[in-house]
């Protein structure tokens, strides 16, 4: 690669400051994409799981026990949402 091409690549690369600005703007769009009530439900679901002895990350056995204990009490829709929230929490931690 010649020196001019290398300079063009360097000049076209966004600065760290502009990347942070883009990341901040993306975070704002993400925040707006989730309704406040949904966000509250997610937090409540995760708090219930943790109050029941669950942790993030958790083993499949802990999750299975949580679901079994609450299967007769909570609706299928609630349990499904809680599985989704627990999964999302694991994904955010990269586990």
pLDDT at position 22:
67
CB 49 within 8 A of CB 66: yes
Q: Which two tokens stand for residue 60?
A: 């499949």
pLDDT in tens, 37-65: 888 999 999 999 999 999 999 999 999 99
Instruction: Kindly report the backbone phi and psi dihedral angles of residue 58, in degrees, each rounded to the nearest multiple of 5, phi listed first.
Output: -135, 160
pLDDT at position 15:
52
pLDDT at position 44:
95
Split at pLDDT 50, 70, 90, the class of 16 is low
What rounded mean pLDDT belongs to the chain? 82
Q: Which two tokens stand for residue 24?
A: 């901040």
Instruction: Check: pTM over 0.75? Answer yes or no.
Output: no
């Amino acid at each position: 690669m010649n020196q001019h091409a290398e300079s063009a690549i360097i000049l076209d690369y966004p600065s760290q400051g502009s990347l942070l600005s883009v990341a901040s703007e993306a975070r704002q769009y993400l925040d707006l994409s989730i309704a406040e009530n949904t966000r509250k439900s997610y937090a409540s679901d995760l708090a219930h799981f943790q109050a029941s002895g669950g942790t993030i990350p958790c083993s499949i056995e802990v999750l299975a026990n949580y679901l079994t204990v609450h299967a007769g009490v909570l609706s299928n829709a609630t349990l499904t949402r809680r599985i989704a929230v627990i999964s999302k929490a694991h994904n955010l931690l990269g586990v």
